[in-house]
C-alpha cells in the first residue's frame, strides 16, 4: 500500500512513523508512506497556504490552489481515495479502517481546524473523515491515527502477534483481563483457570470475561456484536436486557 500525506507540518510525522509496527511494516515493504509539504506548491514568495475568510470572521482558511496543485502532482491517472481530515467528516471506526486497508493507495489532506476552502471538499476530496468529536488543531494527528489503524491491518504487519481479526473492536467486544508472570504479585494471585492447562475452560473463561467487560463498560457495543446463542444466554444471566444484532 502507498499512503501520501499532504500537510503544512511534515516534521510532525517523523517519530510516529519511525517506531513500532509502522516502522516494521515500512521496512518489510508492506507500506510506502510519503509526506509532502503543502508550501512546496505555494506560488507566492511567502509560500502562503492560507488566507482570511470571505465575509469576515476569525481564523484562517486553507487556500485551494496549493492543495489542488499538490494532489494533481501526486496522484496520476488512477482514481484513488482523497481523504480530507476534518471534524465534519464521517466518524473513523474499525470498520472504516478495514475499508481503507482494502485500497492500494490513500491520499490524506490535513486540514486545519478553522477550515479549508469549500471547493476542496466539493471538487477534490472523495471522502471526509473525523477521528472523534473533539477539537484538534489540524488533521495531522488524525492522519497518524488512521495510518496506524490501517497499516496494522495489512497482511504481515503484526508478525508474531495475534491476528488483527481477534482484536477488540474487530470482534465487536472488548477483551477481558490479561495476565503475565509472576502468578502472585503483592498477594494478588491470577485466576486459577489460567494455570489449569485446560484449554477449553480457558477459552470459555476468556469469552465470559470479554462479555462481562463489554457489558460493564460498553453495553452499546453488545447491540452490534456477533454473538452465539451461548454468548446471549451468558449476557442475559449477567443482567443484559438490551437488544442483539440480527444474525447473518
Ligand atoms: C481535522 N478534528 S479530525 C482537522 N476530529 C482539524 C480538527 C480535526 C480534524 C478531528
Instruction: Determine the pLDDT at residue 230.
Output: 98
Instruction: Determine the pLDDT at residue 78.
Output: 87
At 227, is the secondary structure helix, strand, or coil? coil
Question: Which of the following is catalytic: 65, 98, 114, 175?
Answer: 114
pLDDT exceeds cutoff 90 at 113: no
pLDDT exceeds cutoff 90 at 76: no
For the chain, give the mean pLDDT.
95
Q: Is 4 a catalytic residue?
A: no
Q: What is the 8-class DSSP label of residue 161?
A: S
Of 166 and 108, more confident: 108
Q: Is 167 a catalytic residue?
A: yes
Mutate to test the pocket of ligand 1, among 9, 38, 138, 145 (most ligand atoms within 8 A of CB): 138
CA distances from 74 to 34, 123, 153 (A): 10, 16, 24
For 93, the grid coordinates are 471506526
For residue 181, the tally of other CB atoms under 10 A from its CB is: 7
pTM: 0.95
Domain spans of the chain?
Answer: 2-151, 168-248
Which atom of ligand 1 sits closest to the CA of residue 113?
A: 6
pLDDT exceeds cutoff 90 at 205: yes
Residues with CB under 6 A from ligand 1: 85-87, 111, 113, 130-132, 136, 138-139, 142
Q: Is 2 a catalytic residue?
A: no
On whether the 168-248 domain is CATH 3.40.50.11540, my answer is no
Instruction: Determine the pLDDT at residue 159.
Output: 78
For the domain covering 2-151, report its CATH number: 3.40.1280.10
pLDDT exceeds cutoff 90 at 223: yes
- Mean pLDDT along residues 17-42: 97
Model confidence band, residue 161 (pLDDT cutoffs 50, 70, 90): low
Amino acid at each position: 500500500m502507498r499512503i501520501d500525506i499532504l500537510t503544512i507540518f511534515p516534521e510532525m510525522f517523523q517519530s510516529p512513523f519511525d517506531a513500532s509496527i509502522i516502522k516494521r511494516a515500512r521496512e518489510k515493504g508492506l507500506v510506502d508512506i510519503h509526506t509532502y509539504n503543502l508550501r512546496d506548491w505555494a506560488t507566492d514568495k511567502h509560500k502562503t497556504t492560507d488566507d482570511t475568510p470571505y465575509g469576515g470572521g476569525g481564523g484562517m482558511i486553507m487556500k485551494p490552489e496549493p492543495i489542488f496543485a499538490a494532489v494533481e502532482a501526486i496522484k496520476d491517472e488512477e482514481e484513488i481515495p482523497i481523504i480530507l481530515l476534518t471534524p465534519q467528516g464521517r466518524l473513523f471506526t474499525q470498520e472504516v479502517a478495514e475499508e481503507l486497508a482494502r485500497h492500494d493507495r490513500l491520499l490524506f489532506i490535513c486540514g486545519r481546524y478553522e477550515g479549508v476552502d469549500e471547493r476542496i471538499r466539493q471538487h477534490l476530496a472523495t471522502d471526509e473523515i473525523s477521528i472523534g468529536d473533539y477539537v484538534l488543531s489540524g488533521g495531522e494527528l488524525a492522519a497518524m491515527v488512521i495510518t496506524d489503524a490501517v497499516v496494522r491491518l495489512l497482511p504481515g504487519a503484526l508478525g508474531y502477534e495475534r491476528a488483527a481479526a481477534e482484536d477488540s473492536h474487530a470482534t465487536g467486544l472488548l477483551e477481558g483481563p490479561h495476565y503475565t508472570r509472576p502468578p502472585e504479585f503483592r498477594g494478588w494471585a491470577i485466576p486459577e483457570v489460567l494455570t489449569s492447562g485446560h484449554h477449553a475452560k480457558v477459552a470459555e473463561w476468556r469469552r465470559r470475561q470479554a462479555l462481562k467487560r463489554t457489558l460493564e463498560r460498553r453495553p452499546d457495543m453488545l447491540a452490534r456484536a456477533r454473538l452465539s446463542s451461548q454468548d446471549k444466554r451468558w449476557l442475559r444471566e449477567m443482567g443484559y436486557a438490551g437488544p442483539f444484532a440480527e444474525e447473518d
